[in-house]
Structure 1
Amino acid sequence: MKFIRLFCFLSLLVLFNTKPLQGAEPEAVVDKQGNPLKPGEGYYVFPLWADNGGITLGRTRNKTCPLDVIRNPDAIGTPVYFSASGLDYIPTLTDLTIEIPILGSPCNEPKVWRLLKVGSGFWFVSTGGAAGDLVSKFKIERLAGEHAYEIYSFKFCPSVPGVLCAPVGTFVDTDGTKVMAVGDGIEEPYYVRFQKASTFAQSNNQDLSSV
């Protein structure tokens, strides 16, 4: 009888343990059509309730290089590319390399995202990074909830103990530019949805280059 009770107790522990198993496959990030994001494909990154105001690159601070990641409220933005080491899809909560390869830019640095410190406890999401560098490891996190399947935010949270882990939000620069940033005063993440660039109807407000 004691053995039966012990077996039932252990079975209940397994039944109500909601933590993922070690080694489980990461959840795929999906676009607005429910399709998994793929490496090598460009995606527009739209704010939650609009198909405009997408992410692109621009000059901020003293209008010098490197380019920073900004939101352009008047255009759909520029396609963003993601890659995850060893995977053929883009997963949540996994170190990613993110790039906005604008052509014809006056700034020659790589267009890979990285954190660039602009003040005490405050960083802009900028460019000039490299795959594998600690400051270029970003994650995509899905908004929790039954009806939030296609809603995401970015985090700077490298899979390294003791490193900064914080949401990427929006900072309004002195000239009104909305810059993606991390740190003091950036409390709310910037919630987004993804649209595959090759399936989006092109229009005259496409932002091929904002610089």
Structure 2
Amino acid sequence: MKVAATMFQILPLFFLSLLILNTQPLLAAEPEPEPVVDKQGNPLEPGVGYYAWPLWADNGGLTLGRTRNKTCPLDIIRDPSKIGTPIEFHVADSDLGYIPTLTDLTVEMPILGSRCQEPKVWRLLKVGSGFWFLSTGGVAGNLVSKFKIERLAGEHAYEIYSFKFCPSVPGVLCAPVGTYEDADGTKVMAIGDDIETYYVRFQKASSTLAQKKNQDLSSV
């Protein structure tokens, strides 16, 4: 697979080796892709904003925040005190009118008023040995910016999903996204050892909720 040159300006060459060494083989008999649906049962649309709320509340969704040294780039976090930030999904097939499961996606949180000016496209960012944060500054199409949405198995789990970093490239890391609690208590989205899968439901963002969201992020 040809990886865009931009990626090598962002990450050292050994990062790809770490991704390949920390592998989990892709299953040969994966389920067929299907439309991802929101809480109302409607398929998610490309380029439309959706909140990713935890199963137990209509609040505390995913948003952006400063972690580690409290500097840019912004990382993907959970903040129980805020409604969250609308997330947009994009698929390579521009003719597809919905977001499918188990398909490489570009994930973006295009917010206004952020002090960090890097693109708000998700990417995997190496933090420690065998440990990665979900961060921003990604580039659509780059290996570290390919994420998938997977539905929880079971007849009563129709609208319950999780995120995975699992590019459709043989021999590359494939792992679910979960929550890591930082030293200051910040819940950062990450993949790595001992991180449990974080399950969500999607809610289409209305203009009223989007206005509240922009107010919540005014200090980021």
In the superposition, the TM-score normalised over structure 2's length comes to 0.81
Give the distance between the partners of 1:126 and 1:161, measured in 2 at CA: 24
Q: What's the counterpart of residue 75 of structure 2?
A: 68
Give the distance between the partners of 2:51 and 2:140, measured in 1 at CA: 21
Cα distance, 1:209–1:78 mapped onto 2, change above 3 Å = farther
Give the distance between the partners of 1:144 and 1:184, measured in 2 at CA: 22
C-alpha contact 2:122 2:134 (8 A) present in aligned 1: yes
Number of positions where the alignment pairs a residue of Structure 1 with one of Structure 2: 189
User: Structure 1 residue 95 and structure 2 residue 104: aligned?
Assistant: yes
Q: What's the counterpart of residue 118 of structure 1?
A: 127
Structure 1 SS opposite 2:133: strand
Cα distance, 1:74–1:123 mapped onto 2, change above 3 Å = same
Structure 2 SS opposite 1:180: strand
Structure 1 residue ranges without an equivalent (≥5)? 1-18
2:200 to 184, 187, 192: 192
C-alpha contact 1:82 1:97 (8 A) present in aligned 2: yes
Q: What are the equivalent positions in structure 2 for 1:119-198 lying under 5 Å apart?
A: 119-186=128-195, 188-198=196-206
User: Structure 1 residue 40 and structure 2 residue 35: aligned?
Assistant: no
**Alpha-carbon distance, 1:207 to partner:** 3.0
Give the distance between the partners of 2:142 and 2:210, measured in 1 at CA: 34
Give the distance between the partners of 2:142 and 2:77, measured in 1 at CA: 21
Structure 1 SS opposite 2:139: coil
Cα distance, 1:210–1:172 mapped onto 2, change above 3 Å = farther
**Alpha-carbon distance, 1:40 to partner:** 1.5
Q: What's the counterpart of residue 113 of structure 2?
A: 104
1:77 to 84, 87, 96: 84
AA matched with 1:79: P
Structure 2 residue ranges without an equivalent (≥5)? 1-28
Give the distance between the partners of 2:154 and 2:207, measured in 1 at CA: 27
Cα distance, 1:122–1:201 mapped onto 2, change above 3 Å = closer
Asked which structure has the greater CA Rg, the reply is: 1
What is the root-mean-square deviation in Å for CA atoms of aligned residues? 2.0
**Alpha-carbon distance, 1:75 to partner:** 1.1
Q: Deviations over 1:92-133 (max 9, x none)?
A: 000000000111211111000000000011000000001100
**Alpha-carbon distance, 1:199 to partner:** 7.5
Give the distance between the partners of 2:208 and 2:219, measured in 1 at CA: 19
Cα distance, 1:209–1:168 mapped onto 2, change above 3 Å = farther
C-alpha contact 1:84 1:95 (8 A) present in aligned 2: yes
